[in-house]
Structure 1
Amino acid sequence: MTTTRPLSLVTGASAGIGAAFARELATQGHDLVLTARRADRLESLAQELRERHGAVVTVLPADLADPSAVSRLCDELDARGLRVDWLINNAGYGVPGTFEAVEWPVHEAFIRVLMTAPAELAWRLLPGMRERGHGRIVNVASLAGHVPGSAGHTLYAASKAYLIKFSQSLALENRHLGVHVCALCPGFTWSEFHDVTGTRQLMNKLPGFMWQSAEAVVREGCRAVERGDVVHVTGSVNRVIKALTKLLPDRLTLWLSARESKRYRALEATQ
């Protein structure tokens, strides 16, 4: 009997949680489409997955800050006859500095990558999933989307809260058709994210128990979306933080956020 291997599209697949998703899904027998800006890293990962898991891996480099990137990416999928079963909306980064200290085009690119691109990819790929009666969409949000915003990295928590609410509505609209949507909400994760934002030195002050590996986050995420969880916060420490945030008065949580953010938020832009 012949079986068709699932096909997963992973954005931001060149490092961190994105690369971990690619490796985990390849282990589970998926073929993959990998996209990110850094083609050399994608090719290296693709070769690894082909050799280790026999996966068919397609590399389609793209900069999701480009307004036409998603439509061109999906046109290429159609041209190659690739039907996406799993969409992992993972691409993201942080913009250090206070809101007014950063040029608007930088904020605009951030909004496109973290908010517009995930929504457009879902919009373009959902019809096929609905028609086939099966699909999985994981929007990589963050614990930051559940707790009060902080000074610095102004749009980051806002973008993650957006992904959570977007995922909830999308899940309700599609679960009866076999399409599961999950907002995956990790806390502090070992990756190069903080090196890129220039906050690694600040991050190193946090205790070890606050951190998870990208692999642990991804394993939880895959199980959560298969179960039909609509929002999943990874790690017991992060789930406690989320629960406490809901229980404490807003004034207190904002005060705590202001105090703690000084330890790990860069208030001066490093662009």
Structure 2
Amino acid sequence: MITGASSGIGAEIAREYARRGVPLILTARREDRLAQLADELRARVPIEIISADLADPTAPARLCDEIERRRLPVRILVNNAGYGVPGRYRSKDWKTHADFLQVMLGATSELTWRLLPSICAHGQGRIINVASFAALVPAADGQTLYAPAKAYLVKFSEALSLENADRGVHVTALCPGFTWSEFHDVTGTRAMMSKLPKWMWLHADAVARAGIDAAERGQVVVVPGAFYKTMYCLIRHLPDSWALKLMGRNSGKIRKVD
């Protein structure tokens, strides 16, 4: 099952799994986009679509009830649904932040909890949590909750990996950097982000393959792309105060901070 499967990395993960012959359950808010993707992939594998808005706290339970009603065994879970909230913390009302936290943390945690017995029952289960390179470096000014939420996914993945390794379950946190997708269109930062050099950008299909390959070999944290691997190594060796100051000087280039 892939959440947030209607576009971007989620859709490319669906396409990659379909190429590998894995039947799919696709979920997202936009049922029309899910239907289009299902029509594209149905010639390769069986596809089920279930629309759900994970900002609704009741959605994870209802989604899992529907999966059970259709008798769909889940061996692989991809927690991909997510977005960013542009601007500084007090520039948005609390409902906006609460919905964000529900999608990024609440829904991911609950879906994993509810589906884990099915995933473990297969003996070769996989969980991919789509985090971000932002989880691994000092937080930037703007989109205040984004990096903390993604850092949670990394630690969540590490803990789940240790807990379930003896059951044959591989858990992976996928941590891509800037990736060509609708993400920056939704946050209204496309014009700003387009000023960044093209070599800083990853393609969503390559990110999808990196995540799936990492899960298959049991790698817990994967950073796609040579540039981001190098940056991660460099930042890990900088004093925290230096790294934070460096991010502070450059936040305006990568975040909308008004």
Q: Distance in 2 between matches of 1:121 and 1:64?
A: 10
Residue from 108, 119, 122 that aligns with 1:118? 108
Q: Distance in 1 between matches of 2:119 and 2:25?
A: 16
Q: Please give the per-residue CA displacement for 1:132-185, whole angstroms capped at 9, x wherever unaligned.
A: 322100000000000001110000000010000000000000011101000000
Q: Distance in 2 between matches of 1:132 and 1:186?
A: 28
Matching residue of 2:13: 21
Give unpaired runs (5+ residues) of structure 2: none
Task: Give the fraction of aligned pairs with identical amino acids, expressed as a percent.
Answer: 55
Residue from 2, 5, 8 that aligns with 1:10? 2
Q: Distance in 1 between matches of 2:171 and 2:240?
A: 29
Matched position secondary structure for 2:55:
coil
1:131, distance to aligned residue in structure 2 (A): 2.5
Number of matched pairs: 258
1:240, distance to aligned residue in structure 2 (A): 1.1
Q: Equivalences for 1:47-196 in 2 at 5 Å?
A: 47-51=39-43, 53=44, 55-196=45-186
Q: Please give the per-residue CA displacement for 1:177-203, whole angstroms capped at 9, x wherever unaligned.
A: 101000000000000100110111111
Residue from 180, 199, 211 that aligns with 1:209? 199
Matched position secondary structure for 2:42:
helix
Q: Distance in 1 between matches of 2:132 and 2:159?
A: 17
Q: Distance in 2 between matches of 1:222 and 1:132?
A: 17
Q: Distance in 2 between matches of 1:25 and 1:132?
A: 17
Q: Which amino acid in 2 is paired with 1:49?
A: L
1:15, distance to aligned residue in structure 2 (A): 0.3
Q: Please give the per-residue CA displacement for 1:233-266, whole angstroms capped at 9, x wherever unaligned.
A: 1111111111111101111111111111111211
Q: Distance in 1 between matches of 2:48 and 2:217?
A: 28
Q: Distance in 2 between matches of 1:132 and 1:185?
A: 26
Matched position secondary structure for 2:87:
coil
Q: Distance in 1 between matches of 2:23 and 2:178?
A: 29
- Taking structure 2 as the reference length, the TM-score comes to 0.99
Give unpaired runs (5+ residues) of structure 1: 1-8
- Taking structure 1 as the reference length, the TM-score comes to 0.94
Output the aligned Cα RMSD: 0.7
Matching residue of 1:42: 34
